[in-house]
Amino acid sequence: MKVSDYLKEYSNGERITFREFLCEVQELIVEILKFNREGIKEEFEDVLHFLQLWLYWRFNIDGEIWGITKNSVRKFMNRKAFWQEIYLFVGLPRETSNFCGNCKKVHKVINHLQRFGINKEKAEEAFDKVILGK
């Protein structure tokens, strides 16, 4: 799959910034400092994944998704179904956005849903029901 195809299907279309790439680097550093082998592996793939996305947005490099990032890419792709359920729960159409950010962090769910006029309480309720299964 080419980067442009991936972004059409699994992103909200917003540009990936160098700052977002650096946030992934920061998460990698945290896992290194914790000596967490699994966390290091996961975050290293995320760093490379975001590097490739940033390269696309910055320099229009539209190659095939790098094989070394397959687990990271799959992780993002798998999140789409959760987001679609969250959208339905709060009364939005299932296809509201192709955003596939981390839905396992309540503050990220709240921030994303506020873009669509969903208040904090409803976003927290959606998180509890869809993600935590409460």
What average pLDDT score do residues 50-60 get? 97
Nearest to 127 by CA among 98, 115, 112, 116: 112
Classified as helix, coil or strand, 64 is: strand
pTM value is: 0.86
User: Coil, helix or strand for 14?
Assistant: coil
| Pair 65, 114: CB distance under 8 Å | no
**Measuring CA to CA, which residue among 112, 134, 116 is closest to residue 125?**
134
Please tell me the predicted confidence (pLDDT) of residue 133.
92
User: Would you call 98 exposed, middle or buried from its count of C-beta atoms within 10 A (0-12, 13-18, 19+)?
Assistant: middle
pLDDT tens digits, residue range 22-44?
A: 999 999 999 999 999 999 999 99
Query: If you ran DSSP here, which 8-state letter would residue 131 be given?
Result: I
pLDDT digits (tens, 9 = 90+) for 80-132: 999 999 999 999 999 999 999 999 999 999 999 999 999 999 999 999 999 99
Question: CA–CA separation, 43 vs 111, rounded Å?
Answer: 22
Mean per-residue pLDDT, 7-15: 92
